Amino acid sequence: MAQHTMLAMILAGGRGSRLLDLTNKVAKPAVSYGGKYRIIDFPLSNCANSGIDVVGVLTQYESVLLGSYVAQGRRWGLDSKDSGVYVLPPREKADEALDVYRGTADAISQNIDFVDNYDPEYLLILSGDHIYKMNYEKMLDYHKKNDADATIAVISVPLKEASRFGIMNTDKNGRITDFEEKPEKPKSTLASMGIYIFNWKQLRKMLVADMKNAESAHDFGKDIIPTMLKDKGRLFAYEFKGYWKDVGTIDSLWEANMDLLEKNSELNLNDPTWVIYSEDRSVLPQYIGPNAKIDVAYITQGCRIEGRVKKSVIFTGAQVGAGARVEDSVLMPGVIVEEGAVVKRALVADGVRIGKDAVVGSGGSGPITLIAKNVKGV
Amino acid sequence: MAKAFGIIAPPPGHIQIMGLQEHRPIGAFSFLGRFRMIDFQLSNYSNSDIDRIAVFVRTNPRSLTEHLNNGSHYNINSKRGKLQILFSDRHKENDIYNTNIEGYFDNIDILERIHQSYVVIAPPHMVYTQDYRELMEEHISSGADITVLYHHVGDARENYAGCNVIEIDKNKRVLSIERNSGTAKERNIHMETYVMKKETFLDLIYRARKISAMYSFRMIVNEMCSELDVRAVAHRGYFAAVTDLKSYFDANLDLLRIEQAEDLFRDDWPIYTKTTDFCPSKYFEGASVSNSLVSNGCVIEGTVENSVIGRGCYIGKGARVKNCVVSAYTEIGEYVNVENQVIDKWVKISHANRITAKREQPGYIRRADRL
């Protein structure tokens, strides 16, 4: 792809408050996932693999860690000449009051000057907190083929869950006829993934108008897309087939990690043609001790396992002491489970220490326990 | 603090490691799964604030140059610092000419242009951590012309055959540096690590060439012991010299004693390497792993005991890997039984094979072989 044909803007300002203590100090896109990744590695790697070389990351909530993380564009190969990852928090401008990003569309509106610098033909809008592998270049081809004003990526969801999503109703050519936010009686099962391609010149005009509209919530789903539909715009749904997760809650984050334990996991992270890039830490390979027992597990470098691990995902630098048992659990980076401790059906937050012989988590099939504070030994 | 220039010396001509070395220079040997031998020396430099470094390569430069790249993964500043790769591949007519002195002489114009006052020379085939700032300080305060590092061992009779030993007096003055004859248990192993002024280094190169075209750097230092003030400094901590397949095998498996490994991998002394962005490793039902170091990107369904597994390996159902050093991208098929082997990269062993050797004499399985 010619450089800067399409620019990507990743919306990464959300807190993800249903992730409770996990997002006390970091924004949701910076939450760890899958042993060695942060969630935002997925859209960033997808961009890099799709030949997009300039990515703006719109940050707002607790943006320090997220900002410093994504600014190292070389992790994703986004560091060649004229390429880069740019962190864009709200900023003070001449002749304007400093304002936070009031909505997803406003975040782009406030950075029109940034996009204009590159003068792209198309603008790709992404969410920073979804886990999936997608080739945006194919979506752009589809957008061009349809001569579309906007293309929205959709995924088919089970009918009974459809009322949780923004649902697109389409004609037989894939043209969107109607958009319903969380409909009670969904007419289709095509849910919006929050991934949009717009023609920049056209979107720019709409954003300028939207900024002046006092009634607007400045949101793509609530304002921009409905307005385009009302104006009889050519909006197309691009159906994505594959693994896609919006991990909004502790349970769904736990589940998304457990998905990796499947033998033929739909999300294949071992695919040399579509690598998900991440930070690399200077640590030893994973060390499995003489008396360790590992049943089914996903374990990364820097871990030290001396106890028993069953159906669990163990993140960078986590340790499981001798005689300890970790089952159906997720241990985030740097977690230490001391000797004899038991962790069951739990998600243990970064750096937490579970003391000697302590027992945490929940058996059975209830909700997953989040352990976000050190637990004293017994 | 005076600035030093780091030099990773050409691999000594007398060290030939069966199999592995046919495909890559010794510095590019895989070590502990995710590292390469040279990572330890380059991390030593980087952690010691030495950011101008030359690495000498004699043969098969591909894998080493690919791995080193511009050195940014070693935390070497991409503007102020510089990692150079210097070649010397001209002396094929007779191996006797393949000395490190020849390697230096082939690049003498570059060495002449070094503007740091000191050089710190380190070997590509030894693994240890050392703060060169401390060594420099000791060198400068002692007033010595040359300072060399040594490691005291108690098993020089059976091991360290390819190494040299240092004789020192009670003031730590070096009396001689000679080949390890294997006649004594207690020896000071020469770590082939030197600190000296740049001028001294250049002078020794010219002197060596005047004496003999076969002279190595160690030989000229040995020769000059009486004329120059050559001092020895003891090294503490983990040390391994890779001089043959057995010592390569042992160095890897020794680090399965986790206290040893933790001595080499300290939080305040990171060992940098190039990332390959492999995903974590997957363990499935049937996996049984004990006392092993496993790199990322592996899929394990069989038994792994007392082994080091490189990146992206597959260990099939019912397979048993015991006391092995397995390099990246290798597949050990179902019900295959391997013991005491060094297995090179891209090897594929299909089911029901049994390949074993004695612990004292490990086997080598060639790169990309199908068995």
Picking from B261, B271, B280, the nearest residue to A300 by CB comes out as B280
| Residue B226 to chain A, least CA–CA distance (Å) | 43
Closest residue on chain B to A76 (Cα) = B277
Percentage, residues of chain A above pLDDT 90? 77
Answer yes or no: are the C-beta atoms of A27 and A66 closer than 8 Å. Answer: yes
The pLDDT value given to residue B91: 62
Cβ–Cβ gap B296/A294 under 8 Å: no
Mean pLDDT, residues A55-72: 90
| Residue A323 to chain B, least CA–CA distance (Å) | 14
A322 contacts chain B (CB < 8 A): no
Q: Which distant-in-sequence residues (6+ apart) come within 8 Å of A140 by Cβ?
A: A5, A6, A122, A124, A197
Cβ–Cβ gap B280/A301 under 8 Å: yes
Report domain B4-264's class.
alpha beta
In angstroms, rounded to a whole number, what is the distance separating the alpha carbons of residues A321 and B7?
A: 41
Domain limits, CATH 2.160.10.10, in chain B: 282-365
Place of tokens 């069989």: B302
Q: Report how far apart, in Å, the C-alpha atoms of B315 and of each of A303, B81, B302, B350 are.
A: 20, 41, 6, 11
A363 contacts chain B (CB < 8 A): no
Helix residue spans in chain A (DSSP H)? 41-49, 63-70, 104-109, 112-118, 136-145, 200-212, 225-230, 250-258
AA identity, residue B137:
E
Answer yes or no: are the C-beta atoms of B48 and B133 closer than 8 Å. Answer: yes
Cβ–Cβ gap A299/B281 under 8 Å: yes
Report domain B282-365's class.
mainly beta
Which secondary structure element, helix H or strand E, spans residue A326, and what is its range?
strand A325-327
Which residues from chain A sit within 8 angstroms of residue B277, using beta carbons?
A: 275-278, 280
Residue A3 has pLDDT above 80, yes or no: no
Q: Report how far apart, in Å, the C-alpha atoms of B3 and of each of A146, B26, B118, B120, B140 are.
A: 63, 28, 6, 10, 12
The pLDDT value given to residue A104: 92
Residue A181 has pLDDT above 90, yes or no: no
The pLDDT value given to residue A1: 44
Q: Which of B294, B300, B321, B323 to mutate to test the interface with A (most CBs of A within 10 A)?
A: B294
Answer yes or no: are the C-beta atoms of B201 and B108 closer than 8 Å. Answer: no
Choose between B342 and A24: higher pLDDT: B342
Q: Which of B35, B257, B276, B281 to mutate to test the interface with A (most CBs of A within 10 A)?
A: B281
Which segments within A113-171 are labelled E, that is strand? 122-127, 130-132, 150-156, 166-170
Which residues from chain A sit within 8 angstroms of residue B291, using beta carbons?
A: 288-290
Place of tokens 């060169």: B132
Report mean pLDDT in 10-residue bins for chain B, 371 residues: 88 80 88 94 95 89 87 85 84 74 91 95 96 96 96 94 94 94 94 96 95 90 94 95 93 93 91 93 96 97 97 96 96 95 94 88 90 89
Picking from A269, A275, A295, the nearest residue to B285 by CB comes out as A295
Picking from B277, B285, B289, the nearest residue to A288 by CB comes out as B289
B296-305, pLDDT tens digit by residue?
999 999 999 9
Mean pLDDT, residues A209-229: 92
A97-134, pLDDT tens digit by residue?
778 898 999 999 999 999 999 999 999 999 999 999 99
Helix (H, G, I), strand (E, B) or coil at B8: strand
A93 contacts chain B (CB < 8 A): no
Mean per-residue pLDDT of chain A: 93
AA identity, residue B177:
I
AA identity, residue A95:
D
AA identity, residue A98:
L
Cβ–Cβ gap B72/A34 under 8 Å: no
Which residues from chain A sit within 8 angstroms of residue B71, using beta carbons?
A: none
In degrees to the nearest 10, what's the CA dihedral of A252, A256, A259, A260? -160
B42 contacts chain A (CB < 8 A): no
Q: Report how far apart, in Å, the C-alpha atoms of A149 and of each of A176, A225, A231 are.
A: 11, 10, 11
B297 contacts chain A (CB < 8 A): yes
| Residue B250 to chain A, least CA–CA distance (Å) | 17
In angstroms, rounded to a whole number, what is the distance separating the alpha carbons of residues B337 and B357?
A: 11
A133-179, pLDDT tens digit by residue?
999 999 999 999 999 999 999 999 998 888 888 999 999 999 999 99
Domain limits, CATH 3.90.550.10, in chain B: 4-264
| Residue B123 to chain A, least CA–CA distance (Å) | 22
The residue among B13, B118, B110, B131 whose CA lies nearest residue B55 is B110
Cβ–Cβ gap B277/A296 under 8 Å: no
End-to-end CA distance of chain A, in Å?
Answer: 60
Q: What is the DSSP secondary-structure string of B53-112? A: EEEEE-S--HHHHHHHTTSGGGT--TTT-EEEEEE----TT-GGG--HHHHHHHTHHHHH
Closest residue on chain A to B272 (Cα) = A282
The residue among A183, A123, A135, A131 whose CA lies nearest residue A159 is A183
The alpha-carbon radius of gyration of chain A (Å, integer) is 22
B41 contacts chain A (CB < 8 A): no
